[in-house]
A = this chain, B = another copy of it.
Amino acid sequence: MTANAALKARRDRTIGPYSPLFYDEPLQFVRGSGVWLEEANGERYLDGYNNVPHVGHANGRVVAALAEQAATLNIHTRYLNERVVDYSERLLSTFAPRLDRILFGNSGSEANELALRIARQLTGSTGVIVSDYSYHGTTITLAELTTGLRTREPLGPHVRTLRIPDLDRDQRPEAEVLAETLAELDAAIASLLDEGYGVSASLFDPLFSTEGMPRVPEGLVAGIVERVRRAGGLVIADEVQSGFGRTGGWMWGHDFAGMTPDLVTMGKPMGNGHPMSAVVTSEAILDEFGSRNEFFNTFAGNPVSAAVGEAVLLEMEAEGLMDRAKRLGAEARAEFDRLAATHDFVRAAKGTGLFLGLDFAVDGVPAPELAKRVVEGMKARNVLISRIGRDESVLKVRPPLAFGEAELPILLGALTDSLSDI
């Protein structure tokens, strides 16, 4: 038995055989540095997939902040704690002025749960609108509105789904697609009101990442926001994937989408792998919730997490990661567009900043098996990527934001070669 097979057998007997693994033959990494991961035998892989190690695997500044604060003090927020206030001020300064309060958590699931809990309480309604191919977390409430992966729970009776159109797939005029989608939304809202659920919130990722980064009609997001608010609901932006400068030109996905939500949730890249998350909202919303609930989260906002979160922001700034992501993202996107134009099984290039994809289709039919072959082909060339979208036909290229000039040609070269194999 190989070392990996032996480890897999022990894994099956502890965390179980259903705990998901990437690739037909899973990989085992033993160390990481920057945008590279290394196997026990020294074989190195370029990380073109992982967004959690945002400023790079084992980043020196983050590790130092973590170690220093953990050696000094780690405590909950029932005692005064300057680090959580320092970090909150720094993080909140990246938002529009009316988003000026923060509640910490330990995972994206906790953040989305809390945002929905707040929205339900404030509106007195339970109805929720999500996209028809999305994922927001693991809890019971979130499982009942999961459309993008398999859960045993059926969709809740208070949940309505909206099909997010993709102009790269739908060839009709943009205005027609927009009108049709907003009419669907109007019908969904009317049905929530008719059935007595009301509208508590819409919950969307402003990039529509899980959906496969569709090219949506101009005015779609504004139309959703306007209709949800008119129906009495709050607008939640799930920035677990789209936040922290992922798009290069914008710190937050909702800025990219041109709107200001009522609640913003964030997680994955926030602590570079340290478990932390947050809900950002307005003073009025926080006070309304805070005054009516004894709310406390033991680990959330501890000084170690705050030190780590602050180090991530400082590192982004010191290294100019957003500017670099914007520049490299544009370069990469141009090459993705060229690959789309020169391969007839690539329908379109997708994405913005350092979140890019290629949508595979043959005769207009999504071709997930081709996408899978490219993912495995990239692995054979020591580059990690994955797939997304309702058909799993879209490549998911979403490296650490610390991705650099030196790595881009490696990724693009491997991608060109992998496409040549098809």
What is the bound-complex CA distance between A275 and B152, given in angstroms?
27
A80 at the interface (CB under 8 A from B): yes
The residue that A70 contacts in the complex, of B10, B58, B302, with Cβ under 8 A, is B58
Chain B residue contacts of A273, Cβ below 8 A: 70, 74-75, 299, 302, 304
Chain B residue contacts of A415, Cβ below 8 A: none
Count, chain A residues at interface, CB 8 A = 103
The residue that A149 contacts in the complex, of B105, B294, B301, with Cβ under 8 A, is B294
Oligomeric state, in copies: 2
Query: Can you name the residue of chain B whose Cβ is closest to the Cβ of A19?
Result: B77
A57 at the interface (CB under 8 A from B): yes
A354 at the interface (CB under 8 A from B): no
Contact indicator A52/B14 (Cβ below 8 Å):
no
A163 at the interface (CB under 8 A from B): no
Contact stretch, chosen from A22-30, A225-233, A318-326? A22-30
A305 at the interface (CB under 8 A from B): yes
The residue that A15 contacts in the complex, of B4, B28, B276, B301, with Cβ under 8 A, is B301
What is the bound-complex CA distance between A293 and B150, given in angstroms?
6
Chain B residue contacts of A107, Cβ below 8 A: 105-107, 110, 297-300
Contact indicator A15/B88 (Cβ below 8 Å):
yes
Query: Can you name the residue of chain B whose Cβ is closest to the Cβ of A301?
Result: B15
Contact indicator A32/B290 (Cβ below 8 Å):
no
A109 at the interface (CB under 8 A from B): yes
Given contacts A85-B14, A138-B297, contact A80 B292 (CB under 8 A): no
Contact indicator A117/B140 (Cβ below 8 Å):
yes
Contact indicator A8/B80 (Cβ below 8 Å):
yes
Contact indicator A16/B79 (Cβ below 8 Å):
no
